[in-house]
Structure 1
Amino acid sequence: MRIEPMNQATYESYLPVAIEEYAADKCRAGTWSENESLEKATEEFAALLPEGLKTKDHYLFTFRDETDSDIGMVWVHVAEESRGRSAFIFDVKITSDKQNQGYGKKALRSLEVILKRMNVKKISLHVFAHNERAIHVYDSLGYEKTDYHMSKRLDVSH
């Protein structure tokens, strides 16, 4: 497996899909309503990546297998913190035809190698509670739970 900087064409096809998926996840989590979710997701992405692939301290990578086929991608932000450099994974995806084959773990391990070279001491991420497959992968790679956000819907009768 190879990890390489994402090219502009891949970024342009990634962005609208990522915005839609993020909007849907925020709805499913109960954070946003459907009628506002796409607009809010678009605004968040625009604020986080104002210069697209050239946004300072944001790195978007593509994962490729030995046949040069696209396996997936990752978007990470690197920042200086009081305890050293840290990275936050904003998005990581493995293409649907490559899921459940160990590529996600390999991809994240490849990212770790790059981040260590960048003197990053800690990697963090957010995962939606309904994404049990991702939670399993992160647990198996040694990620620790650091916060819980919990909600209770009051408009549903029990």
Structure 2
Amino acid sequence: MVKFEKMSETAYAAYLPEAIKEYAEEKIKAGTWAEVEAVDRSTAEYGQLLPDGIQTKQHYLFSILDDAEQTPVGMIWFQVSESTHGRTAFIFDFKIEAGHQGKGYGRQAIERLEQIARRMNIKKIKLHVFAHNARAIHLYETTGFITTDLHMTKTLN
């Protein structure tokens, strides 16, 4: 099984530059941002979302550990907000490291998140996933997530 451990400042310092780079790459791949602007825009978004780093209020960043081995296998970051539908968690980032993928850690992490969410009186968990990320979409669909919005683009030649 997996457990969540509050992300340390050291882990956050290692995570942030890689996350900014990966998010920029995903936005380029999706055709949303031009390569020339992607890293700056990604840096700006992370700065707005996490102005106080791991201390940012209502944002929860966890390292995901293999409980038996006590080794890190990934991370998850979500924000909690209030709405007319009740408390909602929005997953901003969720990653199982490449060497640990395909071993059930993703599914276990979603189950663990649901347990934590219920204790926090969260009624819904939301997320965004890039359409080209078939592996993530499969995980989310098989753990009970449904598509609520769908953005489509057509590039004209």
TM-score range, shorter chain: over 0.9
**Which residue of structure 2 aligns with residue 124 of structure 1?**
126
Gap regions ≥5 residues in structure 2 = none
Report deviation, 1:101. Answer: 1.0
Report deviation, 1:58. Answer: 0.3
Which deviates further from its counterpart, 118-127 or 61-70?
61-70
Distance in 1 separating the partners of 2:62 and 2:114: 12
**Which residue of structure 2 aligns with residue 51 of structure 1?**
52
Report deviation, 1:53. Answer: 0.5
Distance in 2 separating the partners of 1:60 and 1:151: 32
**Which residue of structure 2 aligns with residue 33 of structure 1?**
34
- CA offset digits 1:34-60 (Å, max 9, x no partner): 000000000000000000001010000
Report deviation, 1:4. Answer: 1.3
- CA offset digits 1:112-151 (Å, max 9, x no partner): 1111111000000000000000000000000000000000
RMSD, matched Cα? 0.6
Specify which of 84, 89, 104 is matched with residue 102 of structure 1.
Answer: 104
Count of residues in correspondence between the two structures: 155
The ranges of structure 1 where at least 4 consecutive aligned residues each deviate by more than 2 angstroms after the TM superposition are: none
**Which residue of structure 1 aligns with residue 144 of structure 2?**
142
Report deviation, 1:108. Answer: 1.1
User: What is the one-letter code of the residue matched to 1:98?
Assistant: H
**Which residue of structure 1 aligns with residue 63 of structure 2?**
62
User: What is the one-letter code of the residue matched to 1:4?
Assistant: E
Secondary structure of 2:80's aligned partner: strand
- State TM-score, norm by structure 2: 0.97
**Which residue of structure 2 aligns with residue 14 of structure 1?**
15
Distance in 2 separating the partners of 1:16 and 1:115: 28
